[in-house]
Structure 1
Amino acid sequence: MSQTVRGVISRSKKQPVELVDIVIPDPGPGEVVVDIIACGVCHTDLTYREGGINDEYPFLLGHEAAGTVEAIGEGVTNVEPGDFVILNWRAVCGQCRACKRGRPHLCFNTHNAAQKMTLTDGTELTPALGIGAFADKTLVHEGQATLVDPEADPAVAGLLGCGVMAGLGAAINTGAVTRDDTVAVIGCGGVGDAAIAGAALVGAKKIIAIDMDNKKLQWAREFGATHTINAKELDVVETLQDLTDGFGADVVIDAVGRPETWKQAFYGRDLAGTVVLVGVPTPDMTLEMPLVDFFSRGGSLKSSWYGDCLPERDFPTLISLYRQGRLPLEKFVSERISLDAIEDAFHKMHAGEVLRSVVVL
């Protein structure tokens, strides 16, 4: 039988979120119901509320989540009831052209649950990133539930579901940062600090954090930044060159996603260096640059989708590193809040007061 639980929805554009009753159907073939334990408040949830994704209201928000599998549908083999899982929005299909070419991290046909969760009046909900985890329970495709060490703190583990994985993966997977590289990261919120943590994890010799907020630059140092640049006070490209013997960084990660920050990344890298764009631009942004600069500087210009992660490969490994004390994921949790405090958490996030507020149920 279906069950009624609490969930946080965005009913219309730019309006405060609401805590309401929602209906979770029994899992169908390939689906699982997950009892949510914790869910991070990600900027993407705010973007949904603001109408920056699409207009398929009402949205069931929340996606950076960890919980316990409550029930499974027919044919589910990845997990079983009682398993501790992190939810992800890249349940690879195994059949698309990317998957068949051995690039499942680029899967072009990722899975979501086939059934819809609804309001009590039958109105269908659009779950954020196919998850919808600001709720007591949610319904997802089995491939969206990744089994990890149950000893991990759920409030910490769930953050791998989106922003923290995006940043770590931008450095380790997309940017292929290695030992002795010089790395610069533009934007020191959750994603940027995760990129810094990833660069530190693999032994980058110099990690330069760039932001306009000294508080965020201090956070960046706590995750492994060796140098900082306040972009309000210093020219970013010139200072990057000063810190790298006049050459520029081997890898520059743009965790902001604006034309001006991308240009800083492009010109702040070494010849044949790498630029990684992981910050998400808005559809109205455009870029105009001399084409000859692209040719003459060489190197790689990459976009990082979800940190180019493969959840079943990366989540267990990163949780293991966290449990060993080698990856300080716990530092991303600024506060633990209740399900009815999400609107306030959005305001704190927008003001730069927190890295992550985490809803604990």
Structure 2
Amino acid sequence: MPYEVQGVVALGKGEPVSVETVLVPDPGPGEAVVNVQACGVCHTDLHYREGGINDDFPFLLGHEAAGIVEAVGPGVTTVSPGDYVILNWRAVCGECRACRRGRPWYCFSTHNAAQKMTLADGTPLSPALGIGAFAEKTLVAAGQCTKVDPAAPPAVAGLLGCGIMAGLGAAINTGGVTRGDSVAVIGCGGVGDAAVLGASLAGASKIIAVDIDDRKLEWARGFGATHTVNSAATDPVEAIRELTGGNGADVVIDAVGRPETYKQAFYARDLAGTVVLVGVPTPDMTLELPLLDVFGRGGALKSSWYGDCLPSRDFPMLIDLYLQGRLNLDGFVTETIGLGDVEEAFAKMHRGEVLRSVVVL
């Protein structure tokens, strides 16, 4: 018997979202139904609403979520009803060539629930990032559920499911930031500030936050930035070089994902330094760089997929650090809201007024 719940749905491209009745089927083999307790409002959800991901409308939005497992389907052994979990959108398969090479964070065959959630009239829904958690319950693949310590509040824990993990992982996993490194982060929204936090956690000696908004730069200081640069008034490449003895930073993270910010990152790194792209470009963007500069500067140019995280490894560890008071996740929660407030949360996000609005159910 399907569960009948309320969820936030994008019915058409560019249309305001609405709260609709959603039918969630009983879990099938390898699936789980989760009672969603909290879900962050991420920019990716807005991309879905605007048709920037694909045209598979209607979408059940929401993906940065934590909750309690309600039921599991046949063959599920990794989670049980009552488990407190963070949802992830890269449930690794364990069988593809990346997994078999011991690099499951690059899994090329991640999976989602096989069944579809639907509107009350039977219209199939496309869940955002295979999750769809702006809803009282959602259906996911069991591998998308990562058990963590239930002492962590869901409004905080759920944020590890996407943006914070992407930024932290870009610094620690992809960028390999370590003790004494100099780090620059371009773009200080939620993902960029998480990269700042990750660099601080890893022991970077100098963390330079770059943005065009002084309010965001102040937020970055709160997560560990030692220096800030307003790139609307100052050339960020020159500023980063000046702050690093004329050399450039060891690791530069582009949390914006535009050609101009990527070029800034490329030229603001030290010789043989590392550039990490974690901001998501749009399909029409192209990049032009002198190939001799790419060759002559050495180092590494990397893209960070979901912070190159392995949820089963990283989520419990980061929650433990939070509970020990060593990881400021609370600072990302600007406000808590209800399901009916998501459209206004998109507007606040677009205006740069919030790091994260979090739907609490």
Secondary structure in structure 1 of the residue aligned to 2:250: strand
The count of aligned residue pairs is 361
Q: Residue in 2 aligned with 1:296?
A: 296
For residue 303 of structure 1, report the CA deviation from its aligned partner.
Answer: 0.1
1:231 and 2:225 aligned:
no
Secondary structure in structure 2 of the residue aligned to 1:334: strand
The whole-number CA distance in structure 2 between the counterparts of 1:243 and 1:129 is: 39
Q: Residue in 2 aligned with 1:242?
A: 242
Q: Residue in 1 aligned with 2:124?
A: 124
The whole-number CA distance in structure 2 between the counterparts of 1:329 and 1:288 is: 37
Q: Residue in 2 aligned with 1:39?
A: 39
1:167 and 2:155 aligned:
no
Q: Residue in 2 aligned with 1:142?
A: 142
The whole-number CA distance in structure 2 between the counterparts of 1:180 and 1:288 is: 32
Q: Residue in 2 aligned with 1:154?
A: 154
The whole-number CA distance in structure 1 between the counterparts of 2:283 and 2:184 is: 25
Q: Residue in 1 aligned with 2:55?
A: 55
For residue 36 of structure 1, report the CA deviation from its aligned partner.
Answer: 0.3
- Which residue identity does 1:45 align to in structure 2? D
* Paired residues for 1:193-342 under 5 Å: 193-342=193-342
1:187 and 2:187 aligned:
yes
For residue 202 of structure 1, report the CA deviation from its aligned partner.
Answer: 1.0
For residue 289 of structure 1, report the CA deviation from its aligned partner.
Answer: 1.4
For residue 339 of structure 1, report the CA deviation from its aligned partner.
Answer: 0.6
- Which residue identity does 1:41 align to in structure 2? V
Secondary structure in structure 2 of the residue aligned to 1:204: coil
The whole-number CA distance in structure 2 between the counterparts of 1:215 and 1:285 is: 28
For residue 288 of structure 1, report the CA deviation from its aligned partner.
Answer: 1.1
1:16 and 2:46 aligned:
no
- Which residue identity does 1:274 align to in structure 2? T
The whole-number CA distance in structure 1 between the counterparts of 2:206 and 2:72 is: 47
Per-residue CA distance 1:51-77 (angstroms, 9 max, x = gap)? 000000000000000000000100100
Q: Residue in 2 aligned with 1:94?
A: 94
Identity %: 74
The whole-number CA distance in structure 1 between the counterparts of 2:288 and 2:201 is: 35
The whole-number CA distance in structure 2 between the counterparts of 1:53 and 1:43 is: 11
Q: Residue in 2 aligned with 1:354?
A: 354
Q: Residue in 1 aligned with 2:2?
A: 2
State the Cα RMSD in Å.
0.4
The whole-number CA distance in structure 2 between the counterparts of 1:131 and 1:344 is: 22
The whole-number CA distance in structure 1 between the counterparts of 2:352 and 2:237 is: 24
Secondary structure in structure 2 of the residue aligned to 1:67: strand
The whole-number CA distance in structure 2 between the counterparts of 1:89 and 1:320 is: 21
Q: Residue in 2 aligned with 1:343?
A: 343
- Which residue identity does 1:350 align to in structure 2? H
The whole-number CA distance in structure 2 between the counterparts of 1:351 and 1:358 is: 16
- Which residue identity does 2:89 align to in structure 1? W
- Which residue identity does 2:218 align to in structure 1? Q
Where do 5+ consecutive residues of structure 2 fail to align?
Answer: none
The whole-number CA distance in structure 2 between the counterparts of 1:290 and 1:166 is: 29
Secondary structure in structure 1 of the residue aligned to 2:204: coil
Q: Residue in 1 aligned with 2:177?
A: 177
The whole-number CA distance in structure 1 between the counterparts of 2:78 and 2:33 is: 13
Question: What is the TM-score when the length of structure 2 is the normalising length?
Answer: 1.00
The whole-number CA distance in structure 2 between the counterparts of 1:331 and 1:297 is: 37
Secondary structure in structure 2 of the residue aligned to 1:146: strand
The whole-number CA distance in structure 1 between the counterparts of 2:285 and 2:116 is: 33
Q: Residue in 2 aligned with 1:72?
A: 72
For residue 292 of structure 1, report the CA deviation from its aligned partner.
Answer: 0.4
- Which residue identity does 1:337 align to in structure 2? I
The whole-number CA distance in structure 2 between the counterparts of 1:290 and 1:170 is: 25
The whole-number CA distance in structure 1 between the counterparts of 2:202 and 2:174 is: 13
The whole-number CA distance in structure 2 between the counterparts of 1:302 and 1:318 is: 23
Runs of 4+ in 1 over 3 A off after TM superposition: none
The whole-number CA distance in structure 1 between the counterparts of 2:176 and 2:74 is: 39
Secondary structure in structure 1 of the residue aligned to 2:26: coil
